[in-house]
């Protein structure tokens, strides 16, 4: 069917149209945008300072004054959870973005230039061969336990996933006839890679990005939980759960609330990632 001339980004428009039909993905996206806004403006939204302690009001269950209750130092959990969104997003997006940049560069070089393929991919295999937790822990131990080093460690452990996906895509796409056509008009390798191959490899990389963010947030929480990530009194969600673990029996809300925050965020990211994968799949094009 022939359609009338449409706007410039009509491919993206189609993707958006298909994504809009996926209700769960849209809800997840709205939720994530909301979370993003919270992270940005948390300092104006929190009713109490997230770090100020007050022994008089410690261990209060959720009530009208402290919506999510208070912790063992009398800090307002609502304020801490809101503020924590910022750290979660910084860790999640920071790690995944740097891992994606590193992985895409390595993967596309490996996929496009055959002579580098073996060197790069065997190196990637080595990183993949080491359990994520071991790898991240050793890097953090070597560099020192703080948030920046945790981000570096998690970024490195996430590079292989991006590299493998990118390489696989590049290997497939570079066999396409339009790549040969691009070559036949005199396009350089760099141009072919950046303008013709990578945009066509974008969809699975984007999906890996959302799913990778989920795993990074969980790993970040785990590392903070064992004291190797974000340091107190920063209200990172994993760290809050860790601090609450000795009160789990009597005051479960202390760990349940930041736990729920993690679950909701990662679930939303997962659903959005699935939705994006479906809507970016050109085979579903009508």
Partner 1 sequence: MEIRDICEGTNLLEVKGLEVHYIVDKDVSRAVNGISFVINEGETLGLVGETGAGKTTTALALIGLLPMPPGKIVQGEILYKGTNLVGQNERYMRKKRGGDITMIFQDPMTSLNPLISVGNQIMEVVLLHENLSKLEATKRAKMMLETVGIPGDRYNDFPYQFSGGMKQRVMIAMALACDPRFLIADEPTTALDVTIQAQVLKLMNNLKKERNTAVLLITHDLGVVAEVCNRVAVMYAGHIVENGPVEQIFNDMRHPYTQGLFFAIPDLDSESEFLKSLEGLMPDPMHLPEGCPFHPRCSHCMEKCKTEVPPNLEVTPGHLVKCHLYP
- The H-assigned helical ranges of 46-64 are none
Among 20, 138, 180, 226, indicate the residue that binds partner 1 (CB under 8 A): 180
Q: Is 286 in the site for partner 1 (CB under 8 A)?
A: no
Distance of alpha carbon 231 from alpha carbon 225, whole angstroms: 10
Exposed/middle/buried for residue 4 (C-beta within 10 Å: 0-12, 13-18, 19+) = exposed
Stretch that binds partner 1, among 57-65, 152-160, 196-204, 242-250 (CB under 8 A): 196-204
Query: Which phi and psi (to 5°) does residue 188 adopt?
Result: -80, 165
Q: Which is nearer to partner 1, 8 or 23 (CB)?
A: 8
Interface with partner 1 includes 171 (CB under 8 A)?
Answer: no
Shorter beta-carbon distance to partner 1: residue 128 or 182: 182
The answer to whether 284 contacts partner 1 (rule: CB under 8 A) is no
Position 8 contacts partner 1 (CB under 8 A):
yes
For residue 76, give the 3-state DSSP assignment.
strand
Task: Tell me how far apart the alpha carbons of residues 272 and 22 are, in angstroms, rounded to a whole number.
Answer: 9
83-91, 125-133, 179-187, 268-276 -> range binding partner 1 (CB under 8 A): 179-187
283 binds partner 1 (CB under 8 A): no
Whole-number minimum distance, CB 11 to partner 1, in Å? 6
Q: Is 115 in the site for partner 1 (CB under 8 A)?
A: no
Phi, psi dihedral angles at 140 (to 5 degrees): -65, -40
40: preceding bond cis by omega (within 30 degrees): no
Binding residue count for partner 1, defined by CB under 8 A? 26
Residue 165: which of 197, 119, 202, 117 has the closest Cα? 202
264/257 Cα distance (integer angstroms) = 11
Q: Does 194 bind partner 1 (CB under 8 A)?
A: no
Q: Rank residues 1 and 56 by Cβ distance to partner 1 and give the closer one.
A: 1
Query: Minimum Å distance from CB 29 to partner 1?
Result: 23
Q: Which is nearer to partner 1, 6 or 17 (CB)?
A: 6
> Which among 43-51, 95-103, 134-142, 185-193 is the span making contact with partner 1, rule CB under 8 A?
185-193
What gap in Å lies between CA 138 and CA 89, rounded to an integer?
A: 23
Instruction: Compute how many other C-beta atoms are within 10 angstroms of the C-beta atom of residue 55.
Output: 9
Query: Which H or E element spans position 211?
Result: helix 202-225
| By the rule CB under 8 A, 63 interacts with partner 1 | no
> Per the structure block, which two tokens stand in for 242?
């860790």
Confirm or reject binding of residue 2 to partner 1 (CB under 8 A): yes
CA dist., res. 159 & res. 136, Å (int): 12
From the CB of 33, what's the least distance to partner 1, in Å? Answer: 26
Nearest to 255 by CA among 80, 99, 87: 80
| Region near partner 1 per CB under 8 A, out of 23-31, 44-52, 57-65, 191-199 | 191-199
Contact between 7 and partner 1 per CB under 8 A: yes
User: What is the binding site for partner 1 (CB under 8 A)?
Assistant: 2-3, 5-8, 10-11, 176-178, 180-188, 195-196, 199-200, 282, 285
């Amino acid at each position: 069917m022939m359609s009338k001339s449409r706007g410039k980004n009509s491919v993206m428009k189609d993707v958006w149209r298909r994504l809009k039909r996926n209700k769960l993905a849209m809800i997840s996206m709205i939720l994530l945008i909301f979370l993003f806004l919270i992270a940005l403006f948390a300092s104006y939204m929190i009713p109490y300072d997230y770090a100020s302690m007050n022994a008089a009001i410690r261990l209060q269950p959720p009530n009208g004054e402290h919506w999510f209750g208070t912790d063992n130092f009398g800090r307002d959990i609502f304020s801490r959870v809101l503020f924590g969104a910022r750290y979660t997003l910084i860790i999640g997006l920071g790690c995944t973005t740097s891992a994606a940049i590193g992985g895409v560069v390595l993967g596309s070089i490996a996929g496009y230039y055959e002579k580098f393929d073996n060197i790069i991919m065997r190196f990637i295999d080595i990183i993949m061969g080491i359990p994520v937790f071991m790898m991240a822990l050793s890097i953090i131990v070597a560099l020192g336990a703080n948030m920046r080093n945790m981000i570096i460690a998690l970024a490195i452990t996430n590079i292989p996933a991006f590299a493998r996906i990118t390489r696989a895509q590049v290997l497939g796409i570079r066999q396409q006839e339009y790549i040969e056509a691009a070559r036949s008009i005199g396009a350089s390798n760099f141009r072919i890679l950046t303008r013709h191959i990578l945009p066509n490899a974008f969809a699975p990389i984007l999906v890996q990005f959302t799913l990778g963010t989920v795993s990074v947030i969980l790993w970040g929480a785990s590392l903070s939980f064992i004291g190797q990530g974000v340091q107190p009194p920063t209200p990172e969600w994993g760290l809050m759960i860790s601090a609450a673990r000795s009160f789990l029996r009597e005051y479960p809300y202390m760990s349940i609330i930041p736990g729920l925050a993690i679950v909701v965020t990662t679930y939303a990211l997962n659903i959005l990632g699935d939705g994006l994968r479906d809507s970016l799949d050109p085979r579903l094009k009508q």
